[in-house]
Amino acid sequence: MKGFETFKSLDELDTESKYLIHKAKEAAHHAYAPYSKFHVGAALILDDGTLVTGSNQENASYPLCMCAERIALYVAATQHGGKRIMKIAIVAHKKNHKELSAAASCGACRQVMAEFEERQNKPFEVIMHHTDNQWIKCASASSLLPYAFNKESLKE
């Protein structure tokens, strides 16, 4: 698929991506996931090298749960407005906390990432852990959500 690269192991990825994955794994330890036991971490890097992380935060009222990616993105916008997102990595721990699980961003996060890309008028890379210990790098967040709903959809 155009715009997507698959890596058979972590070693094949570039240094910055490995660093972000490492930071995303650390962030996953701060997840609050007593219900799903699915601990997710996200780490993004801004154009000045600033690192921002997020972890999923659940709630007994399930619809209020928030994904790690969106937390990282919203923190970046709030605390580092005006800086450009270069790359984001997302990982998830299996319930045993010993191995990583596949971590495909949900549709809501893809929607939010696409709009962040639109806001900064420049694509950013998305790295996700895939099955069989593979890694996927997408050149652009919006490629994860073709024909997305966006501000054009709201025009009269």
Interacting residues with Zn ion (CB under 5 A): 67, 106, 109
3-state secondary structure of 2: coil
Report the nearest approach of Zn ion to the CB of residue 26 (Å).
19
Report the nearest approach of Zn ion to the CB of residue 35 (Å).
15
4 vs 106 by CB, closer to Zn ion: 106
12 vs 130 by CB, closer to Zn ion: 130
69 is catalytic: yes
Residue with the shortest CB distance to Zn ion: 67
> How many C-beta atoms lie closer than 10 Å to residue 87's C-beta?
18
Q: Report the C-alpha gap between 66 and 153 in whole angstroms.
A: 25
Q: What are phi and psi of 8, to 5 degrees?
A: -75, -20
Q: Report the C-alpha gap between 12 and 128 in whole angstroms.
A: 14
95 vs 106 by CB, closer to Zn ion: 106
Q: Cα dihedral sign for 141, 143, 145, 151?
A: positive
- The active-site residue, picked from 12, 58, 69, 156, is 69
Report the nearest approach of Zn ion to the CB of residue 109 (Å).
3
Catalytic residue IDs: 69
